[in-house]
Chain A
């Protein structure tokens, strides 16, 4: 683990792996430090930003140096199931690339349990880890200018759902009607770091 300064009031905790990052994030969140303004997980880092003039950064540093990433506990994760119609434009491409049938793609994608590792790109967009190996495929050579809201997609080691219509280069497997982000809802983002996610096929 490395501690990197990020301006006067923030720091990056750099981790060896996504798993270590998730453990650090969970430990920091579980501590519930009142003067910590943001805890932003990334693929290999956790960004912590403190209220200026407080000791929150020192507290985080002591916390992560003491913490054993193997035993870090972020509390009971939430479990979320998303209903998906597997009718995505890239389903055939994904099956061809993996050398399996489209039915097998759906079986693999629905058979796994995913964890929201971090968010970014757009409000409510979660990077979900746990993707079965054959589905770990590169992004499209040419990103689409418009991916519809609710599109369920894969790229690299991640799967995710586009919360709203936007450009995007991930391979599209299908779509869900679930609302991923509603800023007026009590819990605005359906998926938050640490949540467990399953996909269920509607077809």
Chain B
């Protein structure tokens, strides 16, 4: 029998994700991929996979999967209750499932996104070199639904033998390093305007983190200016006409027509991927 995983419950949203499909932006295709990349990489190592294997990204937990074959799994991201057939098993550790056992991922107390890796990886057909679901353009496997049966690849390695892995903290306030530009000159004292506390709104998703706070003011000369459409990257802080910034995440549009005031440095992105609505963010420009 081929190895497979049956989806029993999905929670609010469960998506197949790997490290994404960078390199296709000139065709209009976003990079996509796991939002909290270190968490997926860790889950894969714990399950004995290459870090590039596809796993499942959950939003606020609620995932339940039934093993159709013996496999090693690991759940990472924020600390979360993990059970096997109702018995506690723990997150951030390799867990063995025998055929027929059901693993459930609870709802994390902090953060948003947990990652489940399975030995062999989720082996659905790649599109443009990736198995990631891109919610903006609808590329990649559809959001998971109860009853889905996911094929697994052949296990290729030994689970990482770490005794204890501590889940990274998901603080309620984030200090986020940014590089000003490319269009910071469209704004009056961009660094100062950005430095106020911003609040993550519930409109946020894999495309971007929408922020609430005092509207960013453009310079008088640029007040009504139109920006010809230009390329956008992950971490870009785009400012639409209402002045409320959007931080673009992995499923962002590849071009945009509003000025980007600053760019979040890549190492700060995993924390943004875990920022719940209500989280306070301060941007700290650095040279």
Chain B residues near A189 (CB, 8 Å)? 27-29
Q: Would you call A123 and B179 a contact (CB within 8 A)?
A: no
Cα of A47 to Cα of B231 in the assembled complex, Å? 5
Cα of A184 to Cα of B137 in the assembled complex, Å? 14
Cα of A42 to Cα of B127 in the assembled complex, Å? 25
Q: A5-B179, A7-B233 are in contact. Are A119 and B228 (CB under 8 A)?
A: no
Which of B24, B125, B228, B230 is in CB contact (< 8 Å) with A47? B230
Q: Would you call A123 and B253 a contact (CB within 8 A)?
A: no
B86 interface hit (Cβ, 8 Å): no
Cα of A187 to Cα of B207 in the assembled complex, Å? 25
B82 interface hit (Cβ, 8 Å): no
Cα of A162 to Cα of B260 in the assembled complex, Å? 26
Which of A5, A11, A42, A184 is in CB contact (< 8 Å) with B228? A42
A40 interface hit (Cβ, 8 Å): yes
Q: Would you call A123 and B139 a contact (CB within 8 A)?
A: yes
Cα of A47 to Cα of B127 in the assembled complex, Å? 24
Q: Would you call B228 and A183 a contact (CB within 8 A)?
A: no
Which of A10, A41, A43, A46 is in CB contact (< 8 Å) with B263? A10
Q: Annotate A41-73 by CB proximity to B: 1 below 8 A, 0 otherwise.
A: 111111101001000000000000000000000
Q: Would you call A124 and B28 a contact (CB within 8 A)?
A: yes
A149 interface hit (Cβ, 8 Å): no
Cα of A197 to Cα of B147 in the assembled complex, Å? 45
Q: Would you call A118 and B255 a contact (CB within 8 A)?
A: yes
Cα of A118 to Cα of B22 in the assembled complex, Å? 17
Chain A residues near B229 (CB, 8 Å)? 42-43, 118, 120, 127
Q: A7-B265, A40-B254 are in contact. Are A123 and B27 (CB under 8 A)?
A: yes
Q: Would you call B127 and A184 a contact (CB within 8 A)?
A: yes
Name the residue of chain B whose CB is nearest to the CB of A163: B28
Q: Annotate B228-253 by CB proximity to A: 1 below 8 A, 0 otherwise.
A: 11111101100000000000000001
Chain B residues near A46 (CB, 8 Å)? 231
Q: A43-B230, A120-B28, A120-B229 are in contact. Are A8 and B265 (CB under 8 A)?
A: yes
Question: Interface range on chain B: under 10, 10 to 19, 20 to 34, or 35 or more?
Answer: 20 to 34
Question: Interface range on chain A: under 10, 10 to 19, 20 to 34, or 35 or more?
Answer: 35 or more
Q: Would you call A39 and B179 a contact (CB within 8 A)?
A: no
Q: Would you call B231 and A42 a contact (CB within 8 A)?
A: yes
Cα of A47 to Cα of B230 in the assembled complex, Å? 8
Q: Would you call B182 and A188 a contact (CB within 8 A)?
A: no
Q: Would you call A38 and B28 a contact (CB within 8 A)?
A: no
B interface: dominant SS: loop
A174 interface hit (Cβ, 8 Å): no
B153 interface hit (Cβ, 8 Å): no
Q: Would you call A40 and B23 a contact (CB within 8 A)?
A: no
Q: Would you call B28 and A10 a contact (CB within 8 A)?
A: no
Name the residue of chain B whose CB is nearest to the CB of A40: B231
Chain B residues near A118 (CB, 8 Å)? 26, 229, 255
Chain A residues near B254 (CB, 8 Å)? 40, 119-120
B12 interface hit (Cβ, 8 Å): no
Q: Would you call A122 and B265 a contact (CB within 8 A)?
A: no
Cα of A125 to Cα of B136 in the assembled complex, Å? 14
Q: Would you call A121 and B255 a contact (CB within 8 A)?
A: yes
Q: A5-B182, A8-B265, A40-B254 are in contact. Are A49 and B28 (CB under 8 A)?
A: no
Q: A38-B22, A123-B137 are in contact. Are A12 and B27 (CB under 8 A)?
A: no
Chain A residues near B266 (CB, 8 Å)? 7-9, 52
Name the residue of chain B whose CB is nearest to the CB of A120: B255
Q: Would you call A40 and B25 a contact (CB within 8 A)?
A: yes
Q: Would you call B28 and A119 a contact (CB within 8 A)?
A: yes
Chain B residues near A43 (CB, 8 Å)? 228-230
B11 interface hit (Cβ, 8 Å): no
- Cβ distance A65 to chain B, nearest Cβ, rounded Å: 18
B158 interface hit (Cβ, 8 Å): no
Most B CB within 10 A of own CB, among A11, A119, A125, A184: A119
Cα of A187 to Cα of B69 in the assembled complex, Å? 36
Known: A7-B264, A42-B228. 6 other contacts (CB 8 A): A4-B181, A5-B182, A6-B263, A12-B230, A38-B25, A121-B253
Q: Show the binding face of B for A, using Cβ within 8 Å.
A: 22-29, 125, 127-128, 137, 139, 179, 181-183, 228-233, 235-236, 253-256, 260, 263-266
